[in-house]
Structure 1
Amino acid sequence: MLRTFPVVPTSDQTLWAIAGIILLTMLAAIVIFLTTENHTKLIALIPLFVGGLFSHTAYASRHSQVELSEDKLSIKGEYGRQIPIASLICNRAEQISLSHSSLYKPKLRTNGTSLPGYLCGWFKLQNNEKALICVTDSDRVVYLPTRDNYSLLISLANPEEFLQFLREICS
């Protein structure tokens, strides 16, 4: 049985910050295009590419989800992946609040996106664990360690429901 659990969408404030970055990159592309010689106008594609990446980030920050089935957990989003259920340490899964638990707070981004109200990608945590995270709401986070030397931190709209279904699958 497949169940889908939506990730908490980012706030409007975060979306406006991303929109501002996209606008600035588009303006940079226009300025570069209008002020450079014909043979160097292709440089204007660089900020357009960056704007495209941030457009993808904006979409992913509002439409990510986690799918859980009997055999795998699938993260559908900016840093999506599929993880076999056998790789999860289900009995250590728990709901945490990053506002209150400093042990699991991200301290170093190694590959990912770090914006106010949106952290997604690979991070090192305060306890020196490596983690794949998608955090949009620091008070509704599921912590789920794996046997592959990293943990998952994901902001889910219904963390209790997710944990209950995870425990049913793992038992």
Structure 2
Amino acid sequence: MSTATPLPKDYPLAPQGGMPLLILWAILLAAMGLPLAFLAGDKGVAALASPRAWVGPLLVSLTGVAVSLAYLRKRITLDAGGLVVRSTFYTRSVAIGSLQLERARIVDLGEHRALKPALKTNGYSLPGFRSGHYRMGDGSKAFCLITDPSRVLVLPLRDGAQLLLSPEQPRALLDALKQRAGDGAA
């Protein structure tokens, strides 16, 4: 057993499928443009010169920037204290001892529908991306950071909840967690 404190190690996320931010901004641009188009159609283009006409689009733009910046905040780190998952507006820290690693598995959510996030209780989602707190198809609670639903590391917790993560190499993270748990037990 090593007495040195292990250095934190980041585990890259699986590549994101699709274009979630492009879809988000397409929706936001429509939300900004359509009211302006209706205003210009009803009252003429001169109505667009009013600063009041631009308050809504400005607020939508600022919200879009905040949501986009949050989307970029994604990280899985294994450090001396355990596993730390940072995702959008959320951070979840889990001690190695609170994981049931003997029950951990790597799954395709398309095949394991009971593990698929079904109800967002406090989360963030875009097409192909899930972050935050969810209820699964089987009713259990989970904290999710899913970028690729075809390879998700499911980590059951001793309190009955789960972590669902999409590291680029799920097996490498699981092996590192098991090694760290073994070092702590020795």
Normalized against structure 1, the TM-score is what? 0.81
Tell me which moved more, 103-112 or 85-94: 85-94
* Cα pair distance change 1:30/1:121, threshold 3 Å: farther
Q: Which letter does structure 2 place at the counterpart of 1:50?
A: T
* Cα pair distance change 1:38/1:65, threshold 3 Å: closer
Partner of 2:98: 87
The match for 2:67 among 30, 38, 54 is: 54
Contact 1:109 1:122 in 2 (8 A): yes
Counterpart check, 1:74 vs 2:84: yes
Looking at structure 1, the residues matched to 103 and 85 of structure 2 have their Cα atoms a distance apart, in angstroms, of 19
Counterpart check, 1:136 vs 2:147: yes
Instruction: Output one character per residue of 1:3-30: Cα deviation in whole Å (capped at 9) or x when no partner.
Output: 2111113224323212323433554797
Contact 1:28 1:47 in 2 (8 A): no
Partner of 1:10: 16
Q: Which letter does structure 2 place at the counterpart of 1:80?
A: T
Kindly report structure 1 stretches of 4+ aligned residues shifted beyond 6 Å: 28-32
Contact 2:71 2:87 in 1 (8 A): no
- Deviation of the 1:52 alpha carbon: 2.1
- Deviation of the 1:39 alpha carbon: 6.7
SS at 2:76 equivalent = strand
SS at 2:19 equivalent = helix
- Deviation of the 1:97 alpha carbon: 1.1
Which residues of structure 2 form unaligned runs of 5+? Answer: 1-5, 40-46
Contact 2:147 2:166 in 1 (8 A): yes
Looking at structure 2, the residues matched to 3 and 12 of structure 1 have their Cα atoms a distance apart, in angstroms, of 27
The match for 1:103 among 97, 114, 120 is: 114
Partner of 2:26: 20
Q: Which letter does structure 1 place at the counterpart of 2:64?
A: G
Looking at structure 2, the residues matched to 92 and 102 of structure 1 have their Cα atoms a distance apart, in angstroms, of 18
Which residues of structure 1 form unaligned runs of 5+? Answer: none
Larger Rg: 2
Contact 1:25 1:48 in 2 (8 A): no
- Deviation of the 1:99 alpha carbon: 1.4
Identical counterparts, % of pairs: 28
Counterpart check, 1:157 vs 2:163: no
Normalized against structure 2, the TM-score is what? 0.75
- Deviation of the 1:70 alpha carbon: 3.6
* Cα pair distance change 1:133/1:38, threshold 3 Å: same
